[in-house]
Amino acid sequence: MSGHFFDSKTVTTRKPHRCHGCGRTMPPGTTMLVCEGIGDCEHYRAYWCETCLEFEPQWTGDNNEIPEGGFRDEMPEEWEACRKVVEDAKETDQ
C-alpha cells in the first residue's frame, strides 16, 4: 500500500469504520490503516482492515480503482483464505 496514497497511518479505531477493501464494518478497537489521498478531483479517506492489507498484493485489478468491498466481492476465495490466516492467527495469540 504505497505510491498513490497521500498519507497513511495505522490506528486503533474508536468508532466503527467500514473497510474499503472488504466492505465489512469493523468494530471500535480494531487496528486499521487509514489512507488519505487526492483523487482525480477530491480528497478522500479510506480505512483498510488488516486482512485487506495482507490481501492487497494478491489483488489483480487496478490499484487505483479498487471498488468499495471489491476485494471480497471479486476475489472471495482468495480473500477468505487470507482472512483465515490473518484473523485466525490473531485469535490463537490472545
**Cα 33 from Cα 30, distance rounded (Å):** 10
Least Cα distance to 19 among 86, 71, 76, 61 occurs for: 71
Who contacts 16 (Cβ-Cβ below 8 Å, separation ≥6)?
Answer: 25, 26, 27, 28
Binding mask 29-58 for Zn ion (x = CB under 5 A): --------------------x--x------
Min. distance of Cβ 41 from Zn ion in angstroms? 26
Among 17, 19, 35, 47, binds Zn ion (CB under 5 A): 19
Min. distance of Cβ 4 from Zn ion in angstroms? 18
Min. distance of Cβ 93 from Zn ion in angstroms? 19
Name the residue nearer to Zn ion (CB basis): 52 or 66.
52
| In contact, 37 and 6? CB cutoff 8 Å | yes
Name the residue nearer to Zn ion (CB basis): 21 or 70.
21
**Cα 42 from Cα 33, distance rounded (Å):** 20
Binding site for Zn ion (CB under 5 A): 19, 21-22, 49, 52
